Chains A and B, each alone.
Chain A
């Protein structure tokens, strides 16, 4: 299967052709006019999948948890696409994508599609093309799309803007109770999973998280993120977590919640697209001469960067 035009690729993808989906994700990562045409063709067919984000520190057990969750859902007859993001090297641009190692048990199942994605310089825990890849997997007809972020520290919170339901994985032995009241990743969880719950200290992690959650002000009708124990390696606790994810999605479906989430996601995506297009056009203006001249003028301190940007955006 060599280079295909976007219309053929879109038709095959919508028909559930796995190779077409794989090629389409590569195209979305590369970007350009063909990629935009492809997304344009499939976008009306998206919105059917349950999209779940899974994040947590490196080594918390994200891939193992996603593997266990996918096995659970497969047993219930649902099809799953998994997008596993790992970091790119800021120096070489290369990456080692190792999340498949933990997902071996999912091999050979036509109801599962696993794709590894390098972050390619994007911060925030996901990749530039993550939203597009999720849309492509959704359009290909998978019931559930799971996004596994890069190993997250404290501020990789972009996943919550992409996925309506976010699972944050914590483990025992990673700090005192002050960690649980810090800002950032703990604020975005719809479901907390305390993985490796057979280890010492799991009870106190669960207790600290619950205390932290009770301190937050929330209205009676709003969602209280549950804190659930798991031993993902043995599949323990997974059924209860899967049921809770479904409950959260049902909660999101009530009233305007999903629409409000979608609005924030779309506004962010649109802002990024506008930035990208604006930079591309600004660089290309006057055969690239305008950009180069302005860079020189800023270096010479004849003009400041903000005024230079104004010049580029106002250029005919």
Chain B
């Protein structure tokens, strides 16, 4: 059997708005991927542990709290510590272009999607880059 793309969808931090995460989870499911949905209020350590146990190709994080510059560097640091550099990290939320540039340059985030991002674009990106870690 072919390898199915496995994606962990999680919400790190304290904001409780998970509509976007659920919409993405559903779209990835409809694109034939296996989505492990872990719910709200995840710490970076919980996310990495779940990603390890589930052996995912992709971690999709939704952050609307503004804490992305604190949470995401921690996520990428833990991925490196666990030798999980091949896991693709994709982020959605309210993130400024300046922050997005830093996250992609310094913190192993492959893509950042803001309001109005096309679902088709996200699905294609994940399909193309799943399991390839940092996208240069």
Instruction: Tell me whether A22 and B34 are in contact (CB under 8 A).
Output: no
Cβ of A294 < 8 Å from any Cβ of B? no
Give CA–CA (A19, B29) in the complex, Å. 25
Cβ of B36 < 8 Å from any Cβ of A? yes
Instruction: Tell me whether B32 and A94 are in contact (CB under 8 A).
Output: yes
Cβ of B37 < 8 Å from any Cβ of A? yes
Q: Which residue of A lies closest to B9 (CB)?
A: A96
On whether A108 and B46 interact (CB within 8 A), knowing A19-B82, A115-B53, the answer reads: yes
Instruction: Tell me whether A97 and B37 are in contact (CB under 8 A).
Output: yes
Cβ of A2 < 8 Å from any Cβ of B? yes
Q: What residues of B have a CB within 8 angstroms of the CB of A142 in the complex?
A: none
Majority-rule SS of B interface residues: mixed
Instruction: Tell me whether B49 and A94 are in contact (CB under 8 A).
Output: no
Interface Cβ pair total, 8 Å cutoff: 88
Instruction: Tell me whether B1 and A18 are in contact (CB under 8 A).
Output: no
On whether A94 and B39 interact (CB within 8 A), knowing A1-B83, A22-B55, A108-B46, the answer reads: no
Cβ of A184 < 8 Å from any Cβ of B? no
Cβ of A113 < 8 Å from any Cβ of B? yes
Q: Which residue of B lies closest to A19 (CB)?
A: B52
Interface centre among A1, A30, A108 (most CB of B within 10 A): A1
Instruction: Tell me whether A97 and B36 are in contact (CB under 8 A).
Output: yes
Give CA–CA (A93, B54) in the complex, Å. 18
Size range of the chain B interface in the assembly: 20 to 34
Cβ of B94 < 8 Å from any Cβ of A? no
Instruction: Tell me whether A116 and B36 are in contact (CB under 8 A).
Output: yes
Q: Which residue of B lies closest to A109 (CB)?
A: B49
Cβ of A8 < 8 Å from any Cβ of B? no
Instruction: Tell me whether A108 and B45 are in contact (CB under 8 A).
Output: yes
Q: What residues of B have a CB within 8 angstroms of the CB of A2 in the complex?
A: 86
A22-47 contacts to B (CB < 8 Å):
22-23, 25-26, 29-31
Instruction: Tell me whether B1 and A92 are in contact (CB under 8 A).
Output: no
Cβ of B84 < 8 Å from any Cβ of A? yes
User: 0/1 per residue, A84-112, Cβ < 8 Å to B?
Assistant: 00001100111111101100100110000
Give CA–CA (A23, B55) in the complex, Å. 6
Q: What residues of A have a CB within 8 angstroms of the CB of B90 in the complex?
A: none
B16-52 contacts to A (CB < 8 Å):
25-26, 28-39, 45-46, 49-50, 52
On whether A30 and B1 interact (CB within 8 A), knowing A94-B29, A97-B35, the answer reads: yes
Q: What residues of A have a CB within 8 angstroms of the CB of B106 in the complex?
A: none
On whether A101 and B37 interact (CB within 8 A), knowing A22-B54, A23-B55, the answer reads: yes
Cβ of B97 < 8 Å from any Cβ of A? no
Interface centre among A29, A115, A116 (most CB of B within 10 A): A116
* A26, chain B: closest CB distance, angstroms: 5
Cβ of A224 < 8 Å from any Cβ of B? no
Cβ of A62 < 8 Å from any Cβ of B? no
A18-B53, A116-B36 known; 6 other A-B pairs, CB under 8 Å? Answer: A18-B52, A19-B82, A26-B55, A30-B1, A89-B29, A100-B50
**6 contacts across the A-B interface (CB closer than 8 A):** A18-B52, A19-B82, A22-B52, A29-B1, A94-B31, A100-B36
